[in-house]
Structure 1
Amino acid sequence: MTWTRRSIAIALVGGVVVLAIAGGGLYLELGQGPDRAALSAVQDDPNVIVTHTVGGHLVHSGTVSNDTTGIVLYPGGLVTPESYVPTAAEIAVRDDVAVVIPKMPYNLAILDVDRAGTARDAAPEIRDWYVAGHSLGGVAACRYAVGEPDEVEGIVLFASYCDRDGSDADLRALSVLATEDEVLDREAERRNRELFPAEARIVEIDGMNHAQFGAYGSQRGDGTAKIDNEAARNQVAIEVVVWLEQQ
């Protein structure tokens, strides 16, 4: 085969395209985070049990039983599931709650909205389940809850909103927002509140930004946090546990 300048150029361009696609796919697979220091703190906590599986992570404190409340937490877009282990741990140590953080294709929950259905297999003894999600993961979680209202007790949104009508669904609902969040589309969040169950509780954590719902570092375009990461996760956990106990 004789290589002309044109054929060499075409081959080089084709190679660049292949590398770009492969690199993009690798970036999506790797995702953002986690914060290793935050993960180490969880690992050093004798009150927290983290089980890592092929399908994700199970976080709890003490024995998981029929009385344990389960939460499937969908990660934010392009964020690794490990990045939510510290937040899940804060929730678990405060009550009899087990949190499952599933892995998502290319770290995008929106590509596997129904993942909660199989994620619950991580703790089959649990009877009462909720689905939660951060940012884009919250949109995916809401789609699951609205589509499968008999499978979960309710939904928890972290810096997110619903894009499917669940206003008439028999679901408990909690939305946790942050005052310094500049990533969330505030206008869309307010507009879409009418799609949330009518009795939903909506709270806003003062001083917190978008990225602090997880532990994966800063996020482009986000606001400057006025509280530290641990304080933010603590407050998120308190809001979730207080709300769960009100049922």
Structure 2
Amino acid sequence: MRDVLGRIARRLPERRRLAIAGGAVVPLVALVVAGGAAYFAVGQGPDADAVAAVEADPSVSVDRTALGTAVRDGPVTDSTVGLVYYPGARVSHESYVPTAADILAASDRVALVVVVEMPLNLAVLAPDRADRVRERYPDAGVWAVGGHSLGGAMACRHAAENAAAYDALVLHAAYCDRDVSESGLDVLSVLGGADGVIDAERERASRSNLPADARIAELDGVNHAGFGAYGKQRGDDPASLSPAASREAVGNATGTWLGERAEANRSPRQSVSPRSPLPGERVF
């Protein structure tokens, strides 16, 4: 049978043989692409119990919209801060709902954190989605954009191109590959002292892209996965803090700083000078 097929193939014109081969390759490529898309679309997390605890808190509202999940602890007014938050790569956006709640708990000024749902759980596919969030909540007087890991990097790129629309940029276990040093943005970078995923050398080298007064806070005992509620992450180092305690530390540092940012809104574009360490922060 194999000899018969070989003779038939040799009699076919070259162009037709290539067409047959191409016809076999196209479904294979489609299968690989579909498999890759499914891998990212499934995502990691969320920790259902951690999300349920936020939903059960009577002081917090969790609103699911076409843009993602909004976590509020009060009305959005012109005196409060809104934070648009981009998730890390291949992490379900709802994995950051508990982190958002911890940010709100740390500040009576921050009223809204919107964790954006990304195509295939990849912020790189929709780096400007924050624009739609701001349009949905026009009453917020101060806006910050930020995110975790790849989400933080994409938030930085968005902020670099739209600095006039924001007052602040928040990086969680992330760094900027765009220069925002002269953007007028206040910048907070929160790092985990036990982070085994981030490229530490590149992060440190990229600090030159940040404003001179950028706040760099390193939290002892927090690893890369500690910024969300999605379980362990490959390549990460062990955390000495529990997942809940890690998120609380991240929320405390971020919420405190954003609260200071809201206070500074009384004088637009006035940067907040660091006077004392943020909760859990190692001072640089």
2:109 aligns with one of 75, 78, 96: 96
2:123 aligns with one of 101, 109, 126: 109
The DSSP-based 3-state class of the residue aligned with 2:252 is helix
C-alpha contact (below 8 Å) 1:100/1:122 kept by paired residues: no
In 1, Cα distance between equivalents of 2:136 and 2:230? 24
Query: Is 1:176 paired with 2:201?
Result: no
Tell me whether 207-216 or 56-65 shows the greater mean CA deviation. 56-65
C-alpha contact (below 8 Å) 1:48/1:93 kept by paired residues: no
In 2, Cα distance between equivalents of 1:202 and 1:218? 25
Matches within 5 A, 1:71-90: 71-90=83-102
In 1, Cα distance between equivalents of 2:114 and 2:134? 7
Query: Is 1:58 paired with 2:73?
Result: no
Match of 2:145 in 1: 131
2:55 aligns with one of 38, 43, 51: 43
Match of 2:155 in 1: 141
In 1, Cα distance between equivalents of 2:130 and 2:25? 41
The DSSP-based 3-state class of the residue aligned with 1:212 is helix
1:164 aligns with one of 178, 191, 196: 178
C-alpha contact (below 8 Å) 1:146/1:166 kept by paired residues: yes
> How far off its partner does 1:9 sit?
9.6
- In structure 2, runs of 5+ residues without a counterpart are 10-16, 265-284
C-alpha contact (below 8 Å) 1:76/1:108 kept by paired residues: yes
> How far off its partner does 1:39 sit?
0.8
Aligned length: 244
State, as a whole percentage, how many aligned pairs show the same letter: 48
C-alpha contact (below 8 Å) 2:84/2:133 kept by paired residues: yes
- In structure 1, runs of 5+ residues without a counterpart are none
The DSSP-based 3-state class of the residue aligned with 2:164 is coil
Larger Cα-atom Rg: 2
2:229 aligns with one of 190, 200, 215: 215
C-alpha contact (below 8 Å) 2:193/2:222 kept by paired residues: yes
> How far off its partner does 1:23 sit?
2.1
Say what the alpha-carbon RMSD is for the aligned residues: 2.0
